[in-house]
A and B are shown apart, each in its own frame.
Chain A
Amino acid sequence: MAAATTGPGSLGLVETRTVTLFTRERPLALDSGATLGPVEVAYETYGTLDAAGANCVFVCHALTGDAHAAGHHGDPTRPGWWDTLIGPRKPVDTDRYYVVCANLLGGCTGTTGPSSTDPATGRQYGLRFPLFTVADLVRVHRALLAHLGVERPLAAIGGSVGGMQVLQWAIDHPQELRSGIAVCATARLSAQNIAFSAVAREAILTDPDFCGGDYYDGPSRPDRGLALARRIAHITYLSEESMRQKFGRRIQDAGAPRMGFDVDFEVESYLRHQGETFLRRFDANSYLYLSRVMDYFDPFGDPAVLARLHAIETRFLAVSFDTDWRFDTAHSREIVRRLAAARVPVSFREIASPHGHDSFLLELPAYHRTVAAFLERQAAQAGVA
């Protein structure tokens, strides 16, 4: 070991760029048969692509993520959503890897989505935006990589819906990804998962300000519905234990409970805050589309997919967290079971963490060690310096 080791650092200031990957003339062909154009994609890159084009790690974000995965946009105290994992000398080491993260299709932070203008009408798409699939999300990722000159990524990595994209990518293009890391992901939502998503969507759909999705020009937006949707979902991201540790039954304003229906407990205040801050960065229609994508995802339910799983040359790592009840360990095990049965090289580790589904965003040493060890090995195998 070197005498002096330098600890992990920050990427510092980074910026989101935008590129038009599909046009009206050359549109994106979706699974549904619909076409979409133009499609703009917001993305960030960190590090440098090596001469062989072999060191690219593509980061797939989860339901409400964006292209800004690491570094900061001017305020170092507000880093990107996966800054714990990505940066110089971090597990996804930007000194070694060329890291790319893009806002998802249907999103609302720079990539074309329901809040973008429909060139056919000159108005925002709203619910006229076409439904899309996880495979469509991957289509756009691949178009971005083609634009950036990457043919064969070293790895694709993602948590939750991000992991679904990694799995779909390997299924649809079995020789493209050298490796895939799916953290607290699932190959299909359970009835309970869908139930939570359905109630969250209903909060948006029944908000009087939703106006059938055409709220962009109106005086108000479906803020109550969207905030409620976020709160419902947020409960599923935390574990019982982490809620008990964070809030217990503490009363918000230190004094005695007010004994009424206003916010009284700390946990209520926290959830209200979560809902409100979410409004500043998310669009209700995007929430509907992106959460619906997850419900329909079920690649192993398709016999044609099962028949071609054995062709996958991607080496997989699946990671779960023991207190995650959104996509618990059984979900990851199912992915592992299917891949192992098809003789796809797959590793799996369940990490002990009290933080539930949100664990994948946190700095947990065991989790980070495993991801780093896996990536390191893939890099060595691919001849990355």
Chain B
Amino acid sequence: MRPDLDLVAGWVPRSARVLDLGCGDGALLEHLARERGCETLGIDLDGDALDASIARGVPVVQADIDRGLPDLGDDSFDLVVLSQTLQATHRPALVLREMMRVGRRAVVSFPNFGHWRLRAGLVLGGRMPSSRVLPDSWHETRNIHLCTLRDFEELAGAERMRIAERVLLGLDGRPRDGTSTRRRPNLLAAGAAYLLECDGRGA
């Protein structure tokens, strides 16, 4: 399993109901169902991802999260996961709003476009930056809504989401909490994973 998914798994209580938006091959949900007794549902758009999840025994529904989650009721999940997918959505604010509608808490992880390497690529190279996390060239990438940690935190605040926890990630996707990274996260973290709660509703 990807290291950032390991991290997400650590935030999931036993027997929780978990929705994973852009669940890919279903590895996280399979892990949560098997190891933590979770009741899970995945959403993805890609046919091969759906088949891979189905083959793992992970219930998965084909849907486009940019159209919201009209088939899911309010508060029907304990936790909604959006892992490395936010930057590929057309309507990030809508997606976040829907996450807080159908779930009590949300986990969001994404690559930080404020990372110094990406900044340097643009400033010094004069080209749209690319990295291991964002490998595709500008015209081919599915990542159309890139943001920095600061950008995301501003949007989360505007959407009345409270940041319960934040874990900074290194280029390898593992937690990176050196002193310098903690001091300048927006410059030194390659990404982050957030545990969010709806403001005013409590955990």
**In the assembled complex, which residues on chain B have CB atoms less than 8 Å from the CB atom of A337?**
71-72
Q: Are B57 and A348 in contact (CB under 8 A)?
A: no
Contact (Cβ within 8 A) A350 B76: no
**Contact between B47 and A315, CB atoms less than 8 A apart:** no
Residue contact B61 to A377, C-beta cutoff 8 Å: no
| A29 lies within 8 A of chain B by Cβ | no
**Chain A contact residues, majority secondary structure:** helix
The answer on a CB contact under 8 Å between B59 and A315 is yes
Point out the residue from B39, B47, B55 that lies within 8 Å of A377, measured CB to CB: B55
Closest to B50 in A: A349
Contact B61 A336 (CB under 8 A): yes
Report yes or no: B61 in contact with A366, Cβ–Cβ below 8 A: no
The reply on A341 being an interface residue by CB < 8 A is yes
B202 at the interface (CB under 8 A from A): no
User: What is the minimal beta-carbon distance from B76 to any residue of chain A, in angstroms?
Assistant: 7
Is the pair B71, A340 in contact by a Cβ cutoff of 8 Å?
yes
Q: Which residues of A contact B57 (CB under 8 A)?
A: 377, 381
Contact indicator per residue, chain B 92-106, by CB within 8 Å of chain A (1) or not (0): 000000000000000
Query: Closest residue of chain B to A345, judged by CB?
Result: B59
Contact of B55 among A333, A348, A376 (CB under 8 A): A376
Kindly count the residue-residue contacts between A and B in the assembled complex, taking CB atoms under 8 Å apart.
Answer: 52
Minimal beta-carbon separation of A153 from chain B (angstroms): 18
In the bound complex, CA of A348 to CA of B63 (Å): 9
A68 to B33, CA, bound (A): 40
A137 near B: Cβ within 8 Å? Answer: no
Contact partner of B61 among A340, A341, A343, A376, CB < 8 A? A340
Binds B, one of A34-42, A95-103, A115-123, A367-375: A367-375
Whether the pair B71, A333 counts as a contact (CB closer than 8 A) is: yes
Q: A271–B50 Cα gap in the complex (Å)? A: 37
Cβ-neighbour of B54 out of A333, A336, A347, A381 (below 8 A)? A347
Residue in chain A with minimal CB distance to B70: A337
Within 8 A of B (CB), among A299-344: 315, 317, 333, 336-337, 340-341, 343
* Chain A residues positioned under 8 Å from B153 (CB to CB): none
The residue of chain A having its C-beta at the shortest distance from the C-beta of B33 within the complex is A345
Q: Are A377 and B54 in contact (CB under 8 A)?
A: yes
B159 interface hit (Cβ, 8 Å): no
Contact A370 B59 (CB under 8 A): no
The complex places the Cα of A345 from the Cα of B60 at a distance, in Å, of: 9
Q: Is A346 an interface residue (CB 8 A)?
A: yes
B73 is an interface residue with CB less than 8 A from chain A: yes
B52-70, CB under 8 A of A: which get 1 and which 0? Answer: 0111110111100000000
> Could you say which residues of chain B place their CB within 8 Å of the CB of A377?
54-57
Docked complex Cα distance between A347 and B53 (Å) = 9
The distance from the CB of B48 to the nearest CB of chain A, in whole angstroms, is: 9
In the complex, the answer to whether A343 meets B51 with C-beta atoms within 8 Å is no
Chain B residue with the shortest CB-CB distance to A317: B54
Q: 6 new A-B pairs (CB below 8 Å) besides A341-B76, A343-B39, A347-B60?
A: A340-B71, A348-B62, A369-B51, A370-B54, A373-B54, A376-B55
A-B contact pairs, 9 of them (CB 8 A): A336-B61, A336-B71, A340-B41, A349-B62, A370-B51, A370-B54, A374-B54, A377-B57, A381-B57
